[in-house]
């Protein structure tokens, strides 16, 4: 394995600039993960929604017709089909989503936000907005700096979200 790694790097070792770059990247991604965990914990503490449940409701709240195929929900959550099914089961039992067949492709099952789910999602979203202002926007020095950070990260996103609500 060492020979393979050595061959792939052409014998180079990280220099000071490489190490600085890698350390800054580590600080960025680990800091983002920690603040995300804190924000979602704030939402859970105030709304009772587990992070995956909130993320599912938020996703559905922001999609056309407030519905999406289960496979898109799985992609958004980053879960396996089984993991997504467990989240959807909990949300269905709570009356926050319904499962329906897609009109365009009966093989596809849609997760559809209910009216109660919409109300819960809006309340949780307002909680997240308050937490963002407190934990992110304020410490950054205001909305302009938050917008600049968002624009910078969005500019390097290799896969911006998109896609049809049903089927493909």
Q: What is the pLDDT of residues 136-145, one digit of tens each?
A: 999 999 999 9
Q: Count CB atoms within 10 A of the CB of residue 84.
A: 22
Identify the weakest region by mean pLDDT among 15-19, 60-64, 97-101, 155-159: 155-159
Which CATH fold would you assign to the domain 49-125?
Arc Repressor Mutant, subunit A (1.10.10)
Q: Where are the domains of the chain?
A: 49-125
Q: For the whole model, what pTM was predicted?
A: 0.79
């Amino acid at each position: 394995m060492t020979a393979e790694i050595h061959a792939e790097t052409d014998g180079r070792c990280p220099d000071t600039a490489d190490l600085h770059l890698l350390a800054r990247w580590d600080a960025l991604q680990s800091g983002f993960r920690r603040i995300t965990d804190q924000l979602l914990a704030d939402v859970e503490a105030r709304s009772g929604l587990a992070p995956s449940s909130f993320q599912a409701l938020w996703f559905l709240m922001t999609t056309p017709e407030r519905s999406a195929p289960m496979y898109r929900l799985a992609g958004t959550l980053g879960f396996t089909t089984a993991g997504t099914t467990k989240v959807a089961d909990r949300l269905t039992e709570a009356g926050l989503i319904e499962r329906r067949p897609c009109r365009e492709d009966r093989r596809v099952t849609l997760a559809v936000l209910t009216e109660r789910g919409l109300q819960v999602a809006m309340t949780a979203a307002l909680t997240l907005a308050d937490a963002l202002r407190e934990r992110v926007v304020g410490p950054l020095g205001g909305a302009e700096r938050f917008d600049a950070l968002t624009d910078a990260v969005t500019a390097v996103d290799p896969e911006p979200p998109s896609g049809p609500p049903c089927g493909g």
